[in-house]
Structure 1
């Protein structure tokens, strides 16, 4: 796990959003709006999406599998926040 990763048992949406935006900025060297379509804007490739999956799983102690791996869950920062919160609630 990345030494900078912060472990969250039950993260609030604002903290998840800040974390995902910081991760995206660190990886892409640009700022992102939480509502922008990351795939349509050229911000995400399928390979980078898998890096985000790993980051979310490790940071928030969740498991993203099966139907949760669909593109719509990673299209925007807001959709990733919703996914993290839903999966944390299911644990």
Structure 2
């Protein structure tokens, strides 16, 4: 890569993440955090940055706790 990614950096815009890696990332998040990404969750805004991923996981965990 050659550069540091900040928590708010859009990994798609930087070219760090492509569509194949995005699928792998979704699957990793599902396994790592024991959650299920539904069709409506598969929005690039949920996975474009570290902060977006964190917010997505927290929302899913909070929803599961309800």
Shorter-chain TM-score tier:
0.7 to 0.9
TM-score, normalized by length of structure 1? 0.65
| Structure 2, unpaired ranges of 5+ | none
Instruction: State yes or no: 1:85 paired with 2:62.
Output: no
One of 24, 31, 41 as aligned partner of 1:58: 31
Query: Residues 16-39 of structure 1, C-alpha deviation per residue, up to 9 Å, x if partnerless?
Result: xxxxxxxxxxxx686421110100
- The structure 2 residue matched to 1:43, chosen from 7, 11, 16, is 16
What CA RMSD, in Å, does the superposition of the two structures yield over aligned residues?
A: 1.5
Runs of 4+ in 1 over 3 A off after TM superposition: 28-31
When the two structures are aligned, how many residues end up with a matched partner? 64
